[in-house]
Chain A
Amino acid sequence: MTPLDPPSKLTRKDFVSDQEVRWCPGCGDYAILSAVQRTLPEFGVRPEKTVFISGIGCSSRFPYYMNTYGFHTIHGRAPTLATGVKLANPDLDVWVITGDGDGLSIGGNHLLHLLRRNLNLQVILFNNRIYGLTKGQYSPTSLIGKRTPSTPMGSVDPPLTPAAFALGCGGRFVARAIDVDAKGLPIVLRRAHQYVGTGFIEAFQNCPVFNDGAFEHFTAKEVAAETQLHLEHGKPMLFGAKGDRGLRLRPGVLELEIVTVGEDGITEADVLVHDETNRAMAFLLASLEPPTFPIALGVLYAAPSTAPTFEVALLGQNAQALAKQGAGDIDALLRKGHTWEVSAGG
């Protein structure tokens, strides 16, 4: 081990820790871990400058497997620690690892404010629509009617759509990928990392033990082509085995509809072109789901990076105060305002 050698080209190995990975066989988390470890070397950020912060849940074991700095915190609170780390040292490259229970249930408030504040970091939310580590209770993304040990007659509350939640919180970068999509996941990791601001990624992650096949209706090989819409900025939103099905706005209402190029006089020019800076469209895309619509994957939304990140704005005020008032002198501070002298014998 020669950790102090001058920076050389980073490889996957630089990001693999010596800890044995302890997820269930077949868990989608393995694929995500592998994609992250394969993609991170590209960014050129040294492991010592990289920080993974997680909450509680299966996905939150993630930091132990990364040979970077890591903090496995408490349930739902990873965004709060990440905020403190980033404000204390903005040079660090911070990744928040969370899940649908950790990030959207117990930690929903923190995720909301993290997205709203727009710190320059990345969030990967592993959505498996179930509580795994506590053995299979339903989660805020479980579909209505989900039968679990805590809902033997089926859950009754409607699920949350993580991407729509992120957009609603004021999230400025929202993307999606499937755990085992070895091509699509690295693309969104790269884009989220490039983005100056909070890059939010929802990873559809299969839990083979407690919720196997939760996303099979669009991840299965046989249906993938007809149910997955891979978004690319500036390209028409086309999908299907022949690539001839597309989305367009239904005239007169704010709704999307599916059209087929070549049918009913539809040409490719009628199909909407993906504009990732269009927030209203991002909302529409976030809420599409099979069987009626394809699932939208890739970068749903990337606001132009015009807003300063939270740490830049906040620490900017410190710099401003320092420039205006000079470095604080504690002894002078204690003597500011009304003071008086008591002399010996007086």
Chain B
Amino acid sequence: MGALAYEKALETGMDTPAARQETDREALDSVVIRFAGDSGDGMQLTGSQFTDSTALMGNDLATFPDFPAEIRAPAGTTFGVSGFQIHFASYDILTPGDAPDVLVAMNPAALKVNLADLKRGGLLVVNTGAFTPGNLKKAGYSNDPLEDSTLDAFRVLKIDISKLTLQAVEPFDLGTKEALRCKNMWTLGLMMWMFGRERESTVHWLRGKFAKSPVIADANIAALNAGHIYGETAEMPSGIGGYAVSKASLAPGHYRNINGNEATSWGLVAGAQLAGLKIFLGSYPITPASTILHTLSGLKNFGVVTFQAEDEIAAIGAAIGASWAGSLGVTSTSGPGVALKTEALGLAVVTELPLVLVDVQRGGPSTGLPTKTEQSDLLQAVYGRNGDCPLAVIAAATPGECFFMAIEAVRLATKYMTPVILLTDGALANGAEPWRIPNVSEIAPFPVTYRTDPEGFHPFHRDPETLARNWAIPGTPGLEHRIGGLEKAKNSGNISYDPDNHHQMTKIRAAKIAGIADDIPLQEVEAGPSEGELVVVGWGSTYGSIAQAVRTSLRAGLSVAHVHVRYMSPMPRNLGELLRRYKKVLVPELNNGMLVKILRGEYLVDAQALGKIAGQPFKVAELEAAIRTHLER
């Protein structure tokens, strides 16, 4: 009956009398779905389309794309598996979720890599069409897991998605290979039915994406609809059906989905406008930062000049040159790129020019894990240069916050005539969340002024309050001067080898950066008591996991607080005092212990490290366990 109804429905379009009634849906508060397939299966697109329609449904959500570094790893292999996890709920959520409730496995390799994460009793949707002897062997299965007891602990929905897709797109006369590429849309259609999502936004997106080949757009839409119809009509094993997740109560406002790299790019543009400057971006392609270069390259009508340089050094060199000439110099990169830019960063420090360096961190050392997330550039950012070479370092905690921290980076760079490093990471860069859109016109501007008066001009005269030097740009009559990497005399900026002068200049540069602490917010406690047993101190993208774990622990009656540091150098004035109000300090980080070193060094507190260096975010459960362990100790 089910299969027949599906075929009939396919012929006539959707909404046949056989379609299941929407009232059957089981209500859920929160769901975690992971889409997994070959890197060529289009799982990232599937995930982001599901995300868009989920946002439009009014759920809160968080996503975690996880893909291999290889663009097209050999098909069917475990190292070519690409995944996209989305957590959505009827309440506000903070993380992409620990373990998926639903796993969609497009082939045996995807099953092999992801099955261990699926919750026991969770729903597994498998494309049986890809479970060929060849694919099973490539995934390392000696027996077909669909046939033995491997899947006994789960609810399994076995569907030959490949075959059903071919059927659905048959009218479009595509080659088999092309036709099979529509199977992600078929799968998406099924999942949209299962969770009551609307297809309109995806149909609209497909029409736009394949505007030049409408047949491909039509085929994909047919596959999407066919998957949906399958859900409406096919007979499901018991315990599997349609679900409903009602709207979350988000703060009122205008919302959109945003990922960290978009937010960073737009924040830089907003920051430059607030400063009254043109942006010059010098950049060199590097994962996971490249999309900042792409995004800004598409914003030329905002007065953004982008320059894809010959290497990381040229990228920052050009940005410094542009800053000297009066633009806002920006360079975007990841850890290996920061290593290459290090000498030039020193030049920007000693010549005291504004510069924003965005470091979208990834797994290291060396080439490391380009597509995996990590927080292991903190010490490089704060300390990693020759000489006493202080600069400002700030870090964003969520994808949406990247926007505001990018603005903050511009503000500090121009106000204090200093390079500022903005730390984000792969998880923020690619992770999306609903974001309440701010009004840039309501943010207080911070216009810069160039020095124009030649009277008494010296390039290294400083503002007595900020210690920032004059910004005198080439082209200004009467202010001709020379700057460079050699130590300068205190005011004139002429080369100076004088011992006392070098001592003083080093102290002045340090005092200038330290003084920024008076111009940033005091550290607040995110959640929990303002004094007590344990404080969990995090920074960057671990925000969601820590906040969730602390929230749960507080509900369980534990004395634990959450402090999340956004200003890494200099740190908020009250941070040391705040940490001393707790008996224990736990510092979870996606590295082998970096913030914990700084906290111990700066404040002499007995902070304990909790490092995870797996290229993956913390699971909430891991942090909850750590909180318990540390409270019991």
Contact = CB atoms under 8 A, between A and B. Distances in A.
Interface of A: 3-4, 17, 19, 46-49, 51, 53, 56, 63-64, 66-74, 77, 79-89, 91-92, 109-110, 112-113, 314-315, 317-318, 320-322, 324-328, 330-331, 333-335, 337-346
Contact of B251 (A89, A333, A342): A342
A100 B257 CA distance: 52
B451 to A, nearest CB: 13
A89 B474 contact: yes
Interface stretch (B22-30, B159-167, B317-325, B563-571): B317-325
A48 B480 contact: yes
Nearest to B329: A84
Interface string B479-492: 11111111000000
B344 interface: yes
A69 B351 CA distance: 14
A262 to B, nearest CB: 51
22 contacts: A17-B482, A74-B346, A79-B314, A79-B317, A80-B313, A80-B315, A81-B317, A84-B282, A85-B322, A86-B321, A87-B280, A87-B318, A317-B300, A318-B300, A320-B300, A322-B300, A322-B303, A330-B266, A330-B269, A335-B256, A340-B55, A340-B254
Interface string B351-375: 1000000000000000000000000
Contact of A53 (B321, B329, B454): B321
B439 interface: yes
Contacts of A17: 482
A80 B314 contact: yes
Q: Is the interface of B mostly helix, strand, loop or mixed?
A: mixed
A19 B495 CA distance: 9
B201 interface: yes
A47 B305 CA distance: 26
B113 interface: no
Given A80-B317, A339-B256, A342-B58, A328 B301 contact: yes
Contacts of A318: 300-301, 303-305
Interface of B: 52, 55-56, 58, 201, 247, 249-257, 266, 269-270, 273, 278, 280, 282, 299-305, 307, 309-311, 313-327, 329, 343-344, 346-347, 351, 436-441, 454, 473-486, 494-495
A109 B437 contact: no
A3 B318 CA distance: 29
A241 to B, nearest CB: 44
A64 B324 CA distance: 16
Given A4-B454, A80-B317, A88-B280, A63 B482 contact: yes
A250 B236 CA distance: 87
B480 A83 contact: no
A66 B480 CA distance: 9
B254 A321 contact: no
Contact of B310 (A68, A109, A315, A326): A109
A264 B438 CA distance: 86
A77 B315 CA distance: 10
Contacts of A82: 321
B278 A87 contact: no
Nearest to B346: A74
Given A74-B344, A341-B254, A333 B317 contact: no
Contacts of B307: 83-84, 87, 314
A48 B478 contact: yes
B251 A49 contact: no
Given A3-B477, A69-B474, A334-B266, A325 B301 contact: yes
B314 A338 contact: no
Given A89-B474, A338-B55, A80 B309 contact: yes
B474 A48 contact: yes
Given A335-B256, A338-B201, 16 more contacts: A4-B478, A70-B481, A73-B317, A73-B320, A74-B343, A83-B309, A83-B314, A84-B324, A89-B326, A91-B475, A324-B301, A328-B303, A331-B440, A331-B441, A335-B437, A340-B254
A66 B481 CA distance: 9
B257 A338 contact: yes
Contacts of B344: 74, 77
B485 A74 contact: yes
A49 B476 CA distance: 8
Contact of B476 (A48, A81, A326, A330): A48
B484 A63 contact: yes
A328 B317 contact: no
Contacts of B327: 84, 88
B96 to A, nearest CB: 20
Contacts of A63: 482, 484
Contacts of A68: 480
A312 to B, nearest CB: 13
A170 B122 CA distance: 62
B482 A85 contact: no
Given A71-B482, A82-B321, A84-B329, A110 B314 contact: yes
B480 A69 contact: yes
Contact of A84 (B201, B251, B320): B320
A345 B314 CA distance: 52
